[in-house]
Structure 1
C-alpha cells in the first residue's frame, strides 16, 4: 500500500532530520553494509554443519566435552560466516550529501541525494 502524500513528506522530513542531526548513527549503520565475503560465508556454513554433527555425536555418546567442542565449532562458524569483508571494514563511509556540504563531485552523488537537495531547496523557498 503506497504512502499518502502527507505521509511521504513526513517520512522525507524525518530522514533529512536524521541525516542532519545524527550523522554518527547514519555512518555507523552504513558501515555495516558491504560486499559479501563468499569464501568466509561458505567456510562458516561448513564449520557450523560440522559443529552440529559433533554436537549430535556428543549427545549420542553422552560425552559433554564433545558436545561443547561441537558448540564452539558451530559458534565459530556462524561468526566466520557473518564476518564483514575486509573491503567493507577499511572503507570510509560518507553520509549523504546535503546542501551545506561541498559539491565538488556532483557527478558522484546518487539520485536520492540529489532529490533530497532539491527538496531542501524547495522547502527553503516556501518558508
Structure 2
C-alpha cells in the first residue's frame, strides 16, 4: 500500500534529520546510498569458492587431510571475497533540504521537538 503525500513528507523529513543529527549511526548501519555491487569481487569470490569445493572433494577422494582443509579455507575465503563490500563505493551526501522546509523546521523547533511536545501533551491529558 503506497504512502500518502503527508506520510512521504514526514518520512523524508525524518530521513533528513537522521542524516543531519546522527551521521555516524547511518554510516555504521550501512545506510549509504548509491553503493553498487562490486561484480568483479563477486565473480572472483565465486571462482575461489568453486576451486575450494574442488579441492575439498579432491582431498576427500584422495584421503589427504591437508588438501581438504585447504579446500575448505579456499571456500571460506571465496565467500568472504564475494560478500565483503568494497571500499571504493563512495557515499552520496544526504539529500538537500528545501529552503522553505528548513526555515519552517527552525521556526517550529524541528521534527523531534514537535514529536516530543505531542508526546508530552498526550501524557498530560492521560495523567
Give the TM-score normalised by the residue count of structure 2. Answer: 0.59
Equivalences for 1:77-96 in 2 at 5 Å?
A: 77-85=78-86, 87-88=88-89, 93=91, 95-96=93-94
1:120 aligns with 2:101: yes
Q: Is the 8 A contact 1:23 1:95 kept in 2?
A: no
- Could you report, residue by residue, the CA deviation over 1:29-80 in whole angstroms, capped at 9, with x for unpaired residues? 3299356252x33222111101012223334445433222111001111222
Equivalences for 1:19-30 in 2 at 5 Å?
A: 19-28=19-28, 29=30, 30=32
Q: Is the 8 A contact 2:49 2:79 kept in 1?
A: yes
Q: Which residue of 2 aligns with 1:71?
A: 72
Q: CA deviation at 1:123?
A: 3.2
Gaps of 5+ in 2: 109-127
1:53 aligns with 2:62: no
Larger radius of gyration: 2
Could you say if the C-alpha distance between residues 86 and 12 of structure 1 is closer, same or farther in structure 2, counting changes exceeding 3 Å?
A: closer
Could you say if the C-alpha distance between residues 64 and 31 of structure 1 is closer, same or farther in structure 2, counting changes exceeding 3 Å?
A: farther
Please give the secondary structure, in 2, of the residue aligned with 1:87.
coil
Could you say if the C-alpha distance between residues 86 and 13 of structure 1 is closer, same or farther in structure 2, counting changes exceeding 3 Å?
A: closer
Q: Is the 8 A contact 2:33 2:92 kept in 1?
A: no
